[in-house]
A and B are shown apart, each in its own frame.
Chain A
Amino acid sequence: MATQHSRAAARLMISPAVILLLGWMLIPLGMTIYFSFLRYNLLMPGTEAWAGFENYSYFLTDPAFFAAIWNTLFLVGGVLLITVVGGILLALLLDQPFWGQGIVRLLVIAPFFVMPTVSALVWKNMFMNPVNGLFAFLADAIGMQPVDFFAEIPLLSIILIVAWGWLPFATLILLTAMQSLDGEQLEASEMDGAGAVSRFFHIVLPHLARAITVVILIQTIFLLSIFAEILVTTNGGPGTATTNLTFLVYAESLLRFDVGTGSAGGVVAVILANIVAIFLMRMIGKNLDA
């Protein structure tokens, strides 16, 4: 039904967004690619020189590089697992009738509004600190050795902090999806004698498939570049236990001020992120067309 005319109009309407994003992508990315072929240390101006692929080989042979890839995957995967499973369970719960639904919902969505720096600072100091934190006090109270979170389970601690912030987002989307589920269909299957578990796996979960893919897509976009939580809590350590790709690039370009290597790392991170993106898009594209 779209006419030639409306197609032209549509193109006109899309173009500002496309042009701006293209500019946003190409200009800094172009500069980053250029820097990545230079020997360029911010602390030693005037010594810039063509370096070929030296920065890349230096970055890729860094022992921290593979650790960073794994950490990135664990971090994204861990948070997704917690928020999706937790989100489904919470959505199931909040979908039931109970007293004070409105207030409980407010309580549950609150973490989404807290800035990452604040939540990391609060968790790190007031909860996970092994001497003054609340968890240490609770452990003591029941006669257990307090857990030294950022030394013993650093990556898991960060996953927990991040997951706390994203759980409300997943819950909200999944809850809305669940509420659109046809009640009659459920009732019919209940009459057929299907148990709660079987109903969940055969009717509820398939119904949520789209919502789950959406949650995964949106969160992955944000989780790939998790940074503030790491900077505030562990600074990537101990060792490289919590260095993800973003943090490694940060360490090169803004702690060592080696802009050349940092840029090479940035380019590598962009390539890897795009691989993940293509993979995700395939998955979600399929799911959304359905």
Chain B
Amino acid sequence: MTKATRALLGATFLTAMALPAVAQETTLTIATVNNGDMIRMQGLTEDFKEQHPDIALEWVTLEENVLRQRVTQDIATQGGQFDVMTIGNYEVPIWAKQEWLLPLEGMPEGYNTDDILPAIAEALTVDGTLYAAPFYGESAMVMYRTDLAEEAGVEIPDQPTWTDIRNAAEAMTDKENEVYGICLRGKAGWGENMAFLTAMANSYGARWFDMDWAPQFDSEEWNATLTDYLDMMNNYGPPGASSNGFNENLALFQQGKCGIWIDATVAASFVTDEDESTVADSVGFAQFPNKEGVDNRGNWLWSWNLAIPSSTDAPEAAKQFVAWATSQGYTELVAEDEGWAAAPPGTRTSLYENEQYQEAAPFAEMTLNSINAVDTNAPSVQETPYTGAQFVAIPEFQGIGTAVGQQFSAALAGQMDAAQALSGAQTSTQRTMDRAGYGSE
């Protein structure tokens, strides 16, 4: 036996013996996304520990898709590995109906639920009971480079139409210098390209299903949506767009490679952050575009929320944590530590009434307008059998959305044309809906 192997053998036995048996009063395992605001929260937990010395926190920070799969798998099998889960407003009503979540009743004293923005609160409430507390919320809006717009001699109004956007993108494009007029999501996924494309379709007057749950990808509105999207992206978009999601586009915009970027409002604080963004002082904002004559600005509403799975063994401690992380006090803590612009946006009315915040965050008003413009009960101007926003609030949507997203992503990659992608989307959605038994009841 060589020395190295012998040393290894020894080391294993030692480590095996030395496994620490951690004995804490209560340990909360918190599953969360690796987004900037959540990472900031991890850094601020000293404050929570001071208030609750008997509660220890364990973080499981994962990339969004991995996180979603892990928590869904755990909650559906009642695995009980997590005490607090970070989930979207898509999951909340579906999971609440399965009684997988504990209602947020009897929250610690001083926790103000009335302050939560009405659009967000409504999305998290089932039968009058709140099932999750919003950590941050967002709608979508247009972010654009004011310097490039000026140079190109175009103006983007506060409430632009898609024609305005297209013209501006054309004027700003300068591929020689790696400036692409428009950056949009292209990476397949129901929470990636389909979030954007569903919102865009909403603003074109399209809908996912008619009142008999028949998929509508063969409609004129969807055709127009996808055709215009592909046309803009192929002519003025960056290379590799079919693998760009929120994060990739954010990086491109921060490096000054995008003229216009239409995405979640939460991005506003990142693109105006001078430490991270090279274009921080020349970003303008506008509401999500609509098609001329369609009274709909996409209806994009997303919030990342903290919820407590019913399989937890520490519900009281979990409530303490949820209350801490989503309170006004936490917002102030962030402001104190990193300035008001870094406060988690889109959840509380009080934040938007705060003058210091309005001053520090030039995007505050546009964010609030965008969120308030959302009506989750009527995502499209046409009648729909579903509620939702940039998603359809049925359990099957994750599967359907991702399958359709793959088709549209393939179209963006140039593997098929719009017509093929739409008919592929129609067939695959029809297949899933038939199997799930919609329309037959």
Residue A78 lies at the interface, judged by CB distance under 8 Å to chain B: no
A51 to chain B, nearest CB (A): 10
A43 contacts B94, C-beta separation under 8 Å: yes
Residue A287 lies at the interface, judged by CB distance under 8 Å to chain B: no
In the complex formed, the residue of B with least CB distance to A61 is B431
Residue B435 lies at the interface, judged by CB distance under 8 Å to chain A: yes
Given the known interface contacts A131-B240, A237-B410, the answer about A42 and B415 at a Cβ–Cβ threshold of 8 Å is: no
In the complex formed, the residue of B with least CB distance to A240 is B406
The interface residues of chain B lying within 8 Å CB-to-CB of A240 are 406
Q: Mark B241-270, 1 if CB is under 8 A from A, else 0.
A: 111000000011001010000000000000
List the one stretch of A92-100, A147-155, A182-190, A198-206 in contact with chain B.
A147-155
Residue A143 lies at the interface, judged by CB distance under 8 Å to chain B: no
Residue A234 lies at the interface, judged by CB distance under 8 Å to chain B: yes
Residue B440 lies at the interface, judged by CB distance under 8 Å to chain A: no
B238 contacts A238, C-beta separation under 8 Å: no
Residue A58 lies at the interface, judged by CB distance under 8 Å to chain B: yes
In the complex formed, the residue of A with least CB distance to B238 is A131
Residue A251 lies at the interface, judged by CB distance under 8 Å to chain B: yes
B402 contacts A42, C-beta separation under 8 Å: no
Residue A105 lies at the interface, judged by CB distance under 8 Å to chain B: no
B76 contacts A43, C-beta separation under 8 Å: yes
Given the known interface contacts A131-B257, A239-B415, A241-B415, the answer about A254 and B243 at a Cβ–Cβ threshold of 8 Å is: no
Residue A282 lies at the interface, judged by CB distance under 8 Å to chain B: no
B398 contacts A151, C-beta separation under 8 Å: no
Given the known interface contacts A43-B94, A131-B252, A255-B402, the answer about A151 and B413 at a Cβ–Cβ threshold of 8 Å is: yes
Residue A257 lies at the interface, judged by CB distance under 8 Å to chain B: yes
Q: Mark B383-413, 1 if CB is under 8 A from A, else 0.
A: 0000000000001101100100011011011
The interface residues of chain A lying within 8 Å CB-to-CB of B402 are 251, 255-256
Residue B73 lies at the interface, judged by CB distance under 8 Å to chain A: yes
Residue B98 lies at the interface, judged by CB distance under 8 Å to chain A: yes
Count residues on chain B whose CB falls below 8 Å from chain A CBs: 42
A150 to B428, CA, bound (A): 23
A-B contact number at CB 8 A? 102
In the complex formed, the residue of B with least CB distance to A133 is B240
The interface residues of chain A lying within 8 Å CB-to-CB of B399 are 251, 255-258
B415 contacts A45, C-beta separation under 8 Å: no
Residue B72 lies at the interface, judged by CB distance under 8 Å to chain A: yes
A258 to B178, CA, bound (A): 43
A254 contacts B73, C-beta separation under 8 Å: yes
B425 to chain A, nearest CB (A): 11
Question: Contacting B240 at CB < 8 Å: which of A148, A239, A255, A257?
Answer: A148
A235 contacts B257, C-beta separation under 8 Å: no
The interface residues of chain A lying within 8 Å CB-to-CB of B238 are 130-131
Given the known interface contacts A239-B410, A258-B399, the answer about A43 and B72 at a Cβ–Cβ threshold of 8 Å is: yes
Residue A129 lies at the interface, judged by CB distance under 8 Å to chain B: yes
Residue B346 lies at the interface, judged by CB distance under 8 Å to chain A: no
B395 contacts A43, C-beta separation under 8 Å: yes
Residue B329 lies at the interface, judged by CB distance under 8 Å to chain A: no
A235 contacts B188, C-beta separation under 8 Å: yes
Residue B10 lies at the interface, judged by CB distance under 8 Å to chain A: no
Given the known interface contacts A45-B98, A150-B243, the answer about A257 and B410 at a Cβ–Cβ threshold of 8 Å is: no
The interface residues of chain B lying within 8 Å CB-to-CB of A1 are none
Q: Mark B65-76, 1 if CB is under 8 A from A, else 0.
A: 100010011001
Residue B2 lies at the interface, judged by CB distance under 8 Å to chain A: no
Question: Contacting A235 at CB < 8 Å: which of B189, B241, B416?
Answer: B189
Given the known interface contacts A256-B399, A257-B398, A258-B399, the answer about A42 and B243 at a Cβ–Cβ threshold of 8 Å is: no
B406 contacts A236, C-beta separation under 8 Å: yes
Of A63, A136, A152, A237, most buried by chain B (CB within 10 Å of CB) is: A237
In the complex formed, the residue of B with least CB distance to A58 is B435
The interface residues of chain B lying within 8 Å CB-to-CB of A152 are 413-414
A238 contacts B410, C-beta separation under 8 Å: yes
Residue A44 lies at the interface, judged by CB distance under 8 Å to chain B: yes
In the complex formed, the residue of A with least CB distance to B63 is A232
A130 contacts B240, C-beta separation under 8 Å: yes
Residue A101 lies at the interface, judged by CB distance under 8 Å to chain B: no
The interface residues of chain A lying within 8 Å CB-to-CB of B77 are 42
A238 to B414, CA, bound (A): 10
Residue B239 lies at the interface, judged by CB distance under 8 Å to chain A: yes
Residue A41 lies at the interface, judged by CB distance under 8 Å to chain B: yes
Residue A146 lies at the interface, judged by CB distance under 8 Å to chain B: yes
Residue A15 lies at the interface, judged by CB distance under 8 Å to chain B: no
A44 to B437, CA, bound (A): 13
Residue A132 lies at the interface, judged by CB distance under 8 Å to chain B: yes
B386 to chain A, nearest CB (A): 16
A257 contacts B72, C-beta separation under 8 Å: yes
Q: Mark A30-50, 1 if CB is under 8 A from B, else 0.
A: 000000000001111100000
A48 to chain B, nearest CB (A): 12
Complex A-B: 16 CB contacts under 8 Å = A131-B238, A131-B240, A150-B240, A150-B243, A151-B240, A151-B241, A151-B243, A151-B414, A235-B188, A238-B409, A238-B415, A239-B416, A254-B69, A255-B398, A256-B399, A257-B72
Known contacts A235-B189, A257-B395; can you find 17 more A-B pairs with CB under 8 A?
A: A44-B98, A44-B395, A45-B98, A63-B424, A130-B239, A131-B239, A131-B257, A136-B239, A146-B239, A148-B242, A150-B240, A151-B241, A151-B413, A238-B410, A255-B402, A256-B402, A257-B399
Using a CB–CB distance below 8 Å, which chain A residues touch chain B? Answer: 41-45, 58, 62-63, 129-132, 136, 146, 148-152, 154, 234-241, 251, 254-258
Using a CB–CB distance below 8 Å, which chain B residues touch chain A? Answer: 65, 69, 72-73, 76-77, 94, 98, 178, 187-189, 238-243, 251-252, 255, 257, 395-396, 398-399, 402, 406-407, 409-410, 412-416, 424, 427-428, 431-432, 435
